[in-house]
Structures are given as C-alpha cells and as structure tokens.
C-alpha cells in the first residue's frame, strides 16, 4: 500500500464512526449477491436475462458457449441465492431474474464499468 493512499495521522471522528456503526446493517446476503455476480459467466447469464426476460437452460448454454449441464449449474446457483427463478414448461426449464432489483443491479454494474472504461480511455 502506498503512503498516498493512507492518512498521515490517525485521528478518528468518534461521533461519525459511532453513527455509521449504529446504522450499518448486516451485509452478508448482499455480499453473497456480489460474490455470485463476480463470476463473469454468471454475470453474462444475468445480463442475458435483462435482454430476454426468460431463457431456457439450452439457450443459456448456447449464449455462454458451454454445455447445458454447465449452464444449469450456474443457473441453479443464481436461483439458490434468489437472483433468479425457474419454471418448468413441459420438458424444458426456463429461468428469469428474480425481480426488478436484480435487473437494475446488473444493468447498473455494466453502465458503471462502461463509464469507468471511457474515463480511462478504454473501449468496450
């Protein structure tokens, strides 16, 4: 860590620290969401589900360039942490994002990445 990234002196504002600590919620579930979406394949699946509201496992496999089993594994993981939901229709299983919050989160993460890339002179 570089010195420019740290305070030169330690001076804690105890009122602010106490106030923030009192308001800080339990964030373990939120951390699990970010952990799940930190995997590029799962994020790609989630983003695909912002484009097409519902996709069958076979289509997801084609989209991410993997087997149906691998797609199913990732989709099950997203479902198990409540980022996606599934529905059987005949012999196929279709997935969609759990709700508008997940949709917004995925889109915002992408928009932020694009804006940061543009600021740093990178192209998408």
Task: Please indicate, yes or no, if residue 8 is contained in any of the structural domains.
Answer: no
**pTM > 0.95:** no
Number of domains in the chain: 1
96 in Cβ contact with 54 (< 8 Å)? yes
Q: Residue 46 maps to which CATH number? A: 1.10.10.10
The per-residue pLDDT for 123 is 59
Q: What is the tens place of the pLDDT at every residue in 14-25? A: 999 999 999 999
Q: What is the tens place of the pLDDT at every residue in 23-52? A: 999 999 999 999 999 999 999 999 999 999
Residues 100, 22, 106: CA angle, nearest 5 degrees: 20
Task: Please indicate, yes or no, if residue 102 is contained in any of the structural domains.
Answer: yes
Task: Please indicate, yes or no, if residue 84 is contained in any of the structural domains.
Answer: yes
The residue whose two tokens read 């995997």 is 39
Task: Please indicate, yes or no, if residue 30 is contained in any of the structural domains.
Answer: no
Task: Please indicate, yes or no, if residue 4 is contained in any of the structural domains.
Answer: no
Task: Please indicate, yes or no, if residue 17 is contained in any of the structural domains.
Answer: no
117 in Cβ contact with 123 (< 8 Å)? yes
Range of the domain at 78: 39-124
Nearest to 29 by CA among 98, 110, 95: 98
Q: What integer is the mean pLDDT of 95-122? A: 92
Task: Please indicate, yes or no, if residue 10 is contained in any of the structural domains.
Answer: no
Task: Please indicate, yes or no, if residue 29 is contained in any of the structural domains.
Answer: no
């Amino acid at each position: 860590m570089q010195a420019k990234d740290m305070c030169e002196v330690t001076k804690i504002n105890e009122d602010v620290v106490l106030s923030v600590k009192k308001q800080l919620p339990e964030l373990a579930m939120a951390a699990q969401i970010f952990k799940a979406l930190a995997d590029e394949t799962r994020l790609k699946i989630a983003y695909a589900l912002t484009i097409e509201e519902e996709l069958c496992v076979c289509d997801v496999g084609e989209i991410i360039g993997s087997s149906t089993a691998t797609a199913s594994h990732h989709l099950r993981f997203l479902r198990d942490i409540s980022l996606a939901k599934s529905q059987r229709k005949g012999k196929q299983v279709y997935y969609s994002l759990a709700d508008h919050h997940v949709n917004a989160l995925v889109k915002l993460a992408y928009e932020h990445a694009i804006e940061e890339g543009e600021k740093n002179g990178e192209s998408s």
